[in-house]
């Protein structure tokens, strides 16, 4: 069995594999990776680009598990081969909980070994990333621990680990490096998956889905581990690690349905930073987020995907032309406006890890655009009163509709200045498709308002030839790995900023939270429509009415007790957010950057689409194979042992009774 140690797959434990036998002719021999080929067959040879059928499959997408392959395997004398069957006439499991390590029905090592063998040695018995820091683990290695600790805040450390998460809070903080401000006496697997498959072809996904479904195992899909709610982890789970599916194919001229223009086909594991680089090299603009390592074709598009481009062209999910996915029943399908249209609708906005595993997406791209950014800040000080400060913030908010209608994207924050006051910072104000004179003209009335209020600012305007250099200069590599905050968020409707009375009420709600100890990470953004964006998808309807995505983290110290973490989390959910909801009744929140404790998450994250999404979930996944906290259908499940307001993933997953 392959064991993963910091990026390296070390030799299989051959003793387990050799306990398996196969017949070669009439001779019985030990089964080894040498005489058992990975299960799968090339069933669809990658075809040339066709204008009628869309982009060809990626080479690894054509290596699939078929019934013929499975039938062939039954000729081998392998244990538990029926665990890999596609659904037959049997009914879905009626067990009240998923199997958990230590249970009588947990697969024996030899059964895991068959999965490893059939998946071509891709199975990893997971080890917490920080295990080398703990003497109780065989991986203990002080040198390696020091390196892991030094890189702990770098997202690449986590994306290149099969099971780590960027935000370990909901993992349960069971294995963090010991010198980062919190004492953990012993490292345990906690909320990390038990096994992971390093996916490199479709057949492996099919094997894993069939295996988990037939053996009633918890299943998770782990791409980059960026999700705020830690949707890609789970104790006792088999995890599909999609990181290596990092193909980026560019089509200069691509015709599909009514679209004709540049497009990309992206493997499920690509990072935003890599897509932007390829777009730049080809003279086009891709629609992605601001974060460098978010999985553009994974959880990002699945949740809707907001972008510096959104106020010009809509959400990332609106740019999708077609997708490939493996369904809960193990079937590999294409989803597009004409093939499996209901699935296509749901996969674009209805959330990750719910309807299947996406293997690739085809997205349209835009011509190159100039970008001009503006930065400045102002802070409460001896010469700038709190009243004036908030009037300055109010002045900005009053332009939210005007600015987004002009296609801009404002990224800003309001944080404590360290001495009891606050600082407002543009980080930056982003003028997509704008020259410097154009942006200066747009913001002139706003700057005049600040000046009239007596708020001195020194705006810095910088024009870039295209998205990549503007983005690279504006959004530094993100700092991850922390557990000292947790956030909620809200998509406030446009009217809350265009009408002075409503604006004041909204501002008061924002100010209440900040003065209560929150920080504001704000986006002035809208989901624009254009001739190409296909908004017939399940993106939260609240996105179509908003000009903001406001994220509201509450904070605590690295060494905070669980009671303190619970307290702050409760304050976010039950004190600050009710005020935000009260001024935006019926609006919603962005599922991918939201409060895991959001009350009535069905309405907030999915709006009026929830019933349709839930019905489709029941239809495609009657087995309850896919679960993610706050995902569609997750209300039917419960993870055992959670603290109130801290729903960690380190307990057993059970059906709610």
Ligand X SMILES: Cc1cc2nc3c(=O)[nH]c(=O)nc-3n(C[C@H](O)[C@H](O)[C@H](O)COP(=O)(O)OP(=O)(O)OC[C@H]3O[C@@H](n4cnc5c(N)ncnc54)[C@H](O)[C@@H]3O)c2cc1C
Query: Dihedrals φ, ψ of 65, to 5°?
Result: -90, 125
> Does 478 engage in binding with ligand NAG (CB under 6 A)?
no
Which residues, 367 to 386, sit near ligand NAG by CB under 6 A?
369, 379-382
User: Per rule CB under 6 A, is residue 421 in the interface with ligand NAG?
Assistant: yes
Say which entry of ligand X, ligand NAG, none residue 72 contacts (CB below 5 to 8 A, set by partner kind).
ligand NAG
From 55-63, 154-162, 241-249, 465-473, span contacting ligand NAG (CB under 6 A): 465-473
**503: alpha, beta or left? (left if phi > 0; alpha if psi -120 to 50):** alpha
Site membership for ligand NAG, residue 186 (CB under 6 A): yes
* Residues engaged in binding ligand X (CB under 6 A): 166, 220-228, 231-232, 242, 268, 289-291, 294-295, 298-300, 302-303, 305-306, 352-353, 357-358, 478, 592-593, 628
Residue 607 near ligand NAG by CB under 6 A: no
**How many residues touch ligand NAG (CB under 6 A)?**
53
The two structure tokens encoding residue 376:
């400045």
Distances (CA, A) of 160 to 190, 210, 443, 464, 657: 19, 26, 42, 32, 38
Least distance in angstroms from the C-beta of 222 to ligand X: 5
From ligand NAG, ligand X, none, interface partner of 499 (C-beta below 5 to 8 A by class): ligand NAG
Could you give the CA distance from residue 501 to residue 59 in angstroms, rounded to a whole number? 58
* Contact in structure between 610 and 132 (CB atoms under 8 Å): no
DSSP string, 141-163: -HHHHHHHHHHTT-HHHHHTSSS
Which of 118/551 has CB closer to ligand NAG? Answer: 118
Question: With binding defined as CB under 6 A, does residue 505 bind ligand NAG?
Answer: yes
- Minimum Å distance from CB 143 to ligand X? 29
108 binds, among ligand NAG, ligand X, none (CB under 5 to 8 A by kind): none
- State the binding partner of 212 from ligand NAG, ligand X, none, CB within 5 to 8 A by kind: none
Q: Measured between alpha carbons, how far is residue 468 from residues 139, 162, 171 in Å?
A: 40, 29, 34
Among 93, 141, 151, 567, binds ligand NAG (CB under 6 A): 141
Structure tokens at 404: 């987004």
Residue 603 is a binding residue for ligand NAG (CB under 6 A): no
Quote the CA–CA distance of 265 and 246 in Å, as a whole number. Answer: 10
**Residue 223 or 584: which CB sits closer to ligand NAG?**
584
Stretch near ligand NAG under the rule CB under 6 A, chosen from 210-218, 337-345, 610-618, 649-657: 337-345
Q: Is the dihedral of CA 309, 311, 312, 316 positive or negative?
A: positive
Preceding peptide of 280 cis, ω within 30°: no
List residues bridging with 323 in a β-sheet: 335, 361
Does 154 bind ligand NAG (CB under 6 A)? Our answer is no
∠ CA 366-371-373, nearest 5°, is 145
Binds ligand NAG by CB under 6 A, chosen from 9, 111, 144, 401: 144
CA 36 remoteness from chain centre: 35
Burial 130-159 (b: 16+ CB within 10 A, else e): bbbbbeebebebeebbeebbeebbbbebbb
Smallest gap from residue 91 Cβ to ligand NAG (A)? 28
**Nearest approach, Cβ of 619 to ligand NAG (angstroms)?**
14
Q: In terms of CB distance, is 153 or 391 closer to ligand NAG?
A: 391
Tell me the window of 163-171, 261-269, 459-467, 493-501 that interacts with ligand NAG (CB under 6 A).
493-501
Q: How far is the CB of 593 from ligand X (least distance, A)?
A: 5
Q: How far apart are CA 127 and CA 129, in angstroms?
A: 6
Shortest CB 475 distance to ligand X, Å:
8
Q: Using CB under 6 A, which of 88, 90, 420, 644 touches ligand NAG? A: 420
- How many angstroms separate the CA atoms of 625 and 214, rounded? 10
The three-class DSSP label of residue 250 is strand
How many alpha carbons fall within 13 Å on the CB side of residue 395? 20
Q: Which of 253, 559, 564, 600 binds ligand NAG (CB under 6 A)?
A: 559
Using CB under 6 A, which of the segments 90-98, 120-128, 353-361, 468-476 binds ligand NAG? 468-476
DSSP at 299: I
478 binds, among ligand NAG, ligand X, none (CB under 5 to 8 A by kind): ligand X
CA 433 and chain centroid, separation: 27
Task: Quote the distance between the C-alpha of residue 414 and its chain's center.
Answer: 25
Which partner from the list ligand NAG, ligand X, none does 242 bind, CB cut-off 5 to 8 Å by kind?
A: ligand X
Sign of CA dihedral 61, 166, 286, 340: positive
Query: Which residues in 535-554 contact ligand NAG (CB under 6 A)?
Result: 536
| 500 touches, from ligand NAG, ligand X, none (C-beta below 5 to 8 Å by class) | ligand NAG
Can you point out the beta strands (E) in 438-581?
Answer: 460-464, 485-490, 520-524, 548-555
Residues 71-130, interacting with ligand NAG (CB under 6 A): 72, 77, 79
Q: How far apart are CA 56 and CA 514, in angstroms?
A: 50
- Contacts to ligand NAG by CB under 6 A: 20-21, 23, 28, 41, 68-69, 72, 77, 79, 136, 141, 143-144, 186, 188, 312-313, 341-342, 344-345, 366, 369, 379-382, 391, 417, 419-421, 433, 468-469, 472, 493, 495-496, 499-502, 504-506, 536, 557, 559, 583-585
């Amino acid at each position: 069995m392959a064991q993963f140690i910091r990026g390296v797959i070390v030799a299989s434990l051959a003793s387990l594999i050799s306990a398996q036998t196969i017949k070669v002719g009439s001779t019985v021999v030990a089964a080894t990776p040498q005489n058992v080929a990975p299960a799968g067959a090339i069933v669809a040879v990658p075809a040339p680009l066709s204008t009628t059928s869309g982009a060809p499959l990626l080479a690894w997408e054509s290596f699939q598990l078929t019934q013929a392959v499975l039938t062939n395997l039954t000729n081998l004398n392998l244990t538990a081969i029926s665990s890999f069957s596609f659904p037959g006439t049997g009914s879905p499991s009626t067990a009240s909980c998923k199997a958990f390590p230590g249970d009588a029905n947990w697969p024996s090592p030899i059964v895991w070994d068959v999965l490893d063998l059939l998946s071509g040695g891709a199975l990893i018995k997971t080890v917490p990333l920080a295990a080398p820091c703990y003497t109780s683990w065989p991986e203990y290695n002080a040198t390696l621990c020091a390196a892991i600790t030094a890189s702990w805040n770098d997202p690449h450390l986590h994306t290149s680990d099969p099971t780590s998460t960027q935000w370990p809070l909901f993992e349960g903080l069971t294995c963090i490096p010991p010198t980062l401000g919190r004492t953990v006496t012993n490292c345990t697997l906690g909320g990390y998956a038990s096994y992971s498959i390093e996916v490199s072809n479709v057949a492996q996904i099919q094997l894993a889905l069939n295996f988990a479904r037939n053996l009633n195992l918890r299943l998770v899909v782990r791409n980059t581990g960026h999700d705020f709610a830690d949707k890609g982890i789970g104790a006792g789970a088999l995890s599909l690690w999609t990181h290596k599916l990092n193909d980026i194919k560019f089509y200069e001229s691509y015709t599909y349905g009514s679209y004709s223009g540049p497009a990309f086909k992206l493997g499920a594991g690509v990072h935003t930073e890599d897509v932007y680089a390829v777009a730049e090299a080809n003279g086009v603009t891709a629609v992605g987020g601001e974060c460098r390592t978010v999985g553009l074709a994974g959880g990002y598009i699945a949740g809707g995907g907001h972008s510096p481009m959104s106020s010009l062209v809509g959400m990332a999910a609106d740019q999708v032309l077609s997708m490939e996915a493996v369904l809960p029943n193990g079937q590999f399908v294409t989803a597009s406006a004409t093939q499996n249209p209901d699935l296509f609708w749901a996969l674009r906005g209805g959330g990750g890890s719910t309807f299947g595993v996406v293997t690739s997406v085809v997205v349209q791209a835009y011509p190159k655009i100039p970008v001009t950014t503006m930065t400045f800040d102002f802070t409460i000080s001896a010469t700038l009163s709190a009243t004036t400060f908030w009037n300055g913030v109010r002045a900005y908010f009053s332009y939210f509709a005007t600015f987004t209608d002009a296609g801009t994207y404002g990224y800003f924050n309001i944080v404590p200045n360290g001495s009891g006051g606050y600082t407002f910072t543009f980080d930056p104000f982003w003028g997509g498709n704008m020259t410097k004179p154009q942006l200066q003209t747009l913001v002139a009335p706003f700057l005049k308002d600040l000046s009239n209020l007596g708020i001195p600012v020194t705006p810095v305007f910088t024009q870039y030839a295209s998205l990549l250099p503007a983005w690279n200069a504006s959004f530094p590599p993100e700092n991850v790995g922390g557990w000292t905050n947790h956030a909620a968020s809200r998509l406030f409707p446009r009217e809350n900023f265009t009408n002075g009375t409503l604006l004041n009420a909204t501002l008061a709600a924002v100010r209440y939270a900040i003065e209560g100890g929150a920080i504001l990470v704000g986006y002035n953004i809208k989901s624009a429509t254009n001739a190409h964006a296909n908004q017939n998808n399940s993106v939260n309807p609240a996105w179509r009415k908003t000009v903001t995505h406001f994220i509201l983290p509450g904070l605590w110290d690295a060494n905070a007790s669980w009671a303190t973490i619970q307290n702050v989390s409760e304050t976010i959910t039950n004190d600050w957010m009710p005020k935000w909801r009260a001024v935006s009744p019926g609006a919603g929140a962005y599922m991918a950057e939201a409060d895991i404790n959001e009350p009535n998450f069905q309405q907030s994250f999915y709006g009026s689409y929830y019933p349709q999404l839930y019905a489709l979930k029941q239809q495609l996944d009657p087995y309850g194979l896919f679960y993610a906290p706050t995902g569609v259908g997750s209300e039917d499940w419960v993870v055992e042992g959670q603290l109130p307001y801290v729903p960690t993933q380190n307990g057993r997953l059970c059906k709610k009774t």
